[in-house]
A = this chain, B = another copy of it.
Amino acid sequence: MKSNKKPYFRNRIIISQFIMSKILTVGTVAFDEIITPFGETGKILGGSASYIAMAAAKLNPDVGIVSVVGNDFPDAYLQKFTDRQIDISGIEKLDNEKTFYWKGKYHNDLNKRDTLVTEVNCLAHFNPVVPDTYKDAGFLMLGNLHPAIQQSVIDQMTTRPKLIALDTMNFWMDTAWDDLMKVLKNIDILIINDEEARQLSQDYSLVRAAQKIQDMGPKYLIIKKGEHGALLFHGKNIFFAPALPLEEVFDPTGAGDTFAGGFVGKLAQLEDVSFNAMKNAVICGSNLASFTVEKFGTERLENLTKSEIQDRLQDFINLTQFEIELV
């Protein structure tokens, strides 16, 4: 049964995986201070890129971050990334600036929050530079930033990624509409929440909103509905991933970014960007997000194991899969 072809073939797969499944994420690495009915955190590691990268790294070994921090950012926090084999060569440290800082307080039902403090700090000077080693990344996840900055990252890629995903928010719709419209034409999938989808499309119906947003550029769209799950759209196809019903949501911070990181991480792992692969990936994103909300900040995600993810996948299967009975 020995064959010369086998080693060559196996080798080829390994090389292919190495190139294709590289994930680059661009977003904030920051300080969060969170108040919930369950307690207060003080300053902890936060930021969209932190959650995205940690989630994606659960599924795929090669994840890099492009971001910026200030001179007050502790090495111990950077080590949280490097300990998980996340490449931080794209995280710039500005000597004369402080790190982006957000403080917020959640209402009792945890569905609403008030921002108490936002200090933009170093983020005002963020000029992302993609390391050469990530200019050929197969998967690019652009966290919520000014759309012109998101576009500048796309422009630095030497090969068109297999998938470009983008998050944005109402603020950029209000203040940078033209830049947002431009970058939307250059991405494959937009990942936003229901409120953002309604504002972007000016339509209350999410089904019609999805059609209008696809006309703006992205051929795929995910609309996140928090505790009510997430909808994946592509043309006339719709798939729904519920959020896992939990006894207690402890801290919702980072759930949406964890979802996005899990989604892109799963696609990179599968090396597949078909609609069927995306079904799998939104379930995976929802799976990882269900862990993030169990503890403050990135704490739960940091220590999450493959077998915990696997067990919870079974919960999602039990929650959604049924035997077809024809009428």
**Residues B318 and A208 in contact, CB atoms below 8 Å apart:** no
**Residues A320 and B317 in contact, CB atoms below 8 Å apart:** no
Other A-B pairs beyond A228-B229, A231-B245, A240-B320, 16, CB < 8 Å:
A205-B246, A207-B245, A207-B247, A225-B228, A238-B318, A239-B319, A242-B242, A266-B325, A269-B327, A280-B322, A283-B322, A313-B324, A313-B326, A317-B324, A321-B321, A321-B322
Interface centre among A206, A237, A240, A309 (most CB of B within 10 A): A240
Instruction: Give the residue of B239, B245, B313 whose beta carbon is less than 8 angstroms from that of A238.
Output: B245
Instruction: Determine the residue in chain B with the shortest Cβ distance to A226.
Output: B228
Q: Which residues of B contact A283 (CB under 8 A)?
A: 322
Q: Which residues of B contact A95 (CB under 8 A)?
A: none
**Residues A242 and B239 in contact, CB atoms below 8 Å apart:** no
Q: Which residues of B contact A325 (CB under 8 A)?
A: 266, 270, 280
**Residues B207 and A319 in contact, CB atoms below 8 Å apart:** no
**Residues A238 and B327 in contact, CB atoms below 8 Å apart:** no
Query: A188 to nearest B CB, angstroms?
Result: 20
A204 within 8 A of B: yes
**Residues A276 and B323 in contact, CB atoms below 8 Å apart:** yes
Q: Which residues of B contact A276 (CB under 8 A)?
A: 322-323
Instruction: Determine the residue in chain B with the shortest Cβ distance to A269.
Output: B327
A residues 8-37 touching B (CB-CB < 8 Å): none
A248 within 8 A of B: yes
Query: A107 to nearest B CB, angstroms?
Result: 11
A residues 202-217 touching B (CB-CB < 8 Å): 204-208
Beyond A205-B247, A207-B246, whether A310 also contacts B323 by CB under 8 A is: no
| Copies of the polypeptide in the assembly | 2
Query: A106 to nearest B CB, angstroms?
Result: 13
A83 within 8 A of B: no
Cα of A231 to Cα of B306 in the assembled complex, Å: 27
Q: Which residues of B contact A75 (CB under 8 A)?
A: none
Instruction: Determine the residue in chain B with the shortest Cβ distance to A281.
Output: B325
Q: Which residues of B contact A270 (CB under 8 A)?
A: 325
Beyond A245-B238, A247-B205, whether A59 also contacts B327 by CB under 8 A is: yes
Cα of A205 to Cα of B280 in the assembled complex, Å: 27
**Residues A322 and B239 in contact, CB atoms below 8 Å apart:** yes
Query: A12 to nearest B CB, angstroms?
Result: 22
Query: A84 to nearest B CB, angstroms?
Result: 16
Interface string of A221-250 (1 = CB under 8 A from B): 000010011010000011110100111100
Interface string of A272-314 (1 = CB under 8 A from B): 0000100110011000000000000000000000100110010
Q: Which residues of B contact A238 (CB under 8 A)?
A: 245, 318-319
**Residues A239 and B327 in contact, CB atoms below 8 Å apart:** no
A109 within 8 A of B: yes
Query: A88 to nearest B CB, angstroms?
Result: 25
Instruction: Give the residue of B208, B247, B280, B284 whose beta carbon is less than 8 angstroms from that of A208.
Output: B247
Q: Which residues of B contact A228 (CB under 8 A)?
A: 225, 228-229
Could you give 8 example pairs across A and B, Cβ below 8 Å? A205-B247, A280-B325, A306-B327, A310-B326, A313-B324, A313-B327, A317-B324, A320-B321
